[in-house]
Amino acid sequence: MNLIAVDIGNSSINIGYFTESELIVQKIETLPLRAHSEYRELIESFRREKNIDKKTEGCIISSVVPGNTEVLTRALKGLTSVEPLLVSCRMKTGLAFRIPKPDELGTDRIADAVAAYELYKGPVAVVDCGTATTISVVGKDADYIGGSIMPGIGLMNSSLAKGTAKLSEVMLSPPESALGIDTEGCIQSGLFLGTAGATERLLSEMEKETNFALKVVVSGGYGSMISRFLRRSHILKPHLTIEGLKIIYLRNRDA
């Protein structure tokens, strides 16, 4: 099937083009916000460059940036024969939401959880390393039961620079050692090893509270960087959100 799946995040917009044989992903910076005509031209230009068939069955959008949602929806109208689907917890996701306010849950986390449960059909945690580092947990009966949110490494990096007098942003390069020998190395150690350590602690505490042995899937723009510092077994799926969007689309295309 030919499908366009769009994940609008705080830092980047990832557009996945599912063809009959592969997934091709286009990345656009979330800011500055562009006119819908500009987004359409970027999409059409990318499809020409990658020789992606213009015959598209449908489109699905996940967004955590309300200001971009309408513009991208307008840009994508006309590229398919049907209206783009907007992800929400009220759609047929295959999950039961065992949390008090499912409407507050980011739709990217819903897509992550759907894809991860589809992989394992059992208790699983998704660590999505983006602007925020989020953990989303699904139980043994496809029930979304909660998770955690902390600042991502990029956000921590910029916050240190803005909130202190003498620290500057550093290159987001993995540290050679936990023991930093200069300011840059110290910050890099804190960002990467600190995030990995916090993630592992959170996962351990979640396993104690749920009595589940959680499988772990790592995703997101910084996922590959953080993955190498995680000691516990996991798989890396950079485009997990987009894969989840495809599953949700298939479950709702005739709704």
Q: Which of 151, 154, 179 is nearest to 169 (CA)?
A: 154
Classified as helix, coil or strand, 33 is coil
Is residue 108 flagged as an active site residue? yes
Catalytic residue among 7, 53, 103, 108: 108
* DSSP track, 159-211: HHHHH-SS---------S-SS-SSHHHHHHHHHHHHHHHHHHHHHHHHHHHHT
Give the per-residue SS3 of 179-193.
Answer: CCCCHHHHHHHHHHH
Cα dihedral sign, 9-238-192-200: positive
Q: In which order are the strands placed within the sheet that holds 143-151? A: 96-97, 143-151, 132-138, 124-129, 215-219, 235-236
Q: Which amino acid is at 142?
A: A
Residue 36 DSSP class: H
Query: What whole-number distance in Å separates Cα of residue 231 and Cα of residue 200?
Result: 8
Catalytic residues: 108
